[in-house]
Amino acid sequence: MKYYIATSLSRMSEHNSVRDSLRNLGYEISYDWTIHGSVKLISKKRLQEVASLKLQGVLEADFVLILLPGRNGTHLEFGFALAKGKKIFLHSEDSSLFELGTQTNAFYHHKDVIRVCCSLENLAKTVDTSIQQMLISPSL
């Protein structure tokens, strides 16, 4: 089963930690943007290539994992995944992001979004448990 991780460039180490944990559980990443990091200063052509690669990664993924906090790109990938009907796991260690108030986002509460509030260390196992339950009972 393939997945894509969206988060900010400043959280590459967290991305890689979750990526490695999911790999150890048998999942395959559809596109790993951390292999090149930021391309903002390379060229517009490279920016276009990476944008296409990221969107293709979302399309190829069976599920998308959003690590909050994220920045503009994270939320664009989140919206694209939502529009394409992907199963989305939205993670934050801060549960207040999911509570009513100015800090939340309406899309965080979309019916196809699974909000996950746990430590980063427990995230891969939590996602795996949810995936296994969905495979057993697809209506979840």
User: What single string gives the DSSP state of each residue in 31-94?
Assistant: --GGGT---TTT-HHHHHHHHHHHHHHHHH-SEEEEESS--HHHHHHHHHHHHTT-EEEEE-S-
Q: Is the pLDDT of residue 46 over 90?
A: no
Could you tell me if 58 and 79 are in contact, meaning their C-beta atoms sit under 8 angstroms apart? no
pTM of the model: 0.89
Q: How far apart are CA 53 and CA 38, in angstroms?
A: 13
Q: What does pLDDT average to over the chain? A: 89
Among 23-32, 75-84, 89-98, 115-124, which stretch is predicted with the lowest mean pLDDT? 89-98
For residue 135, the model assigns a pLDDT of 82
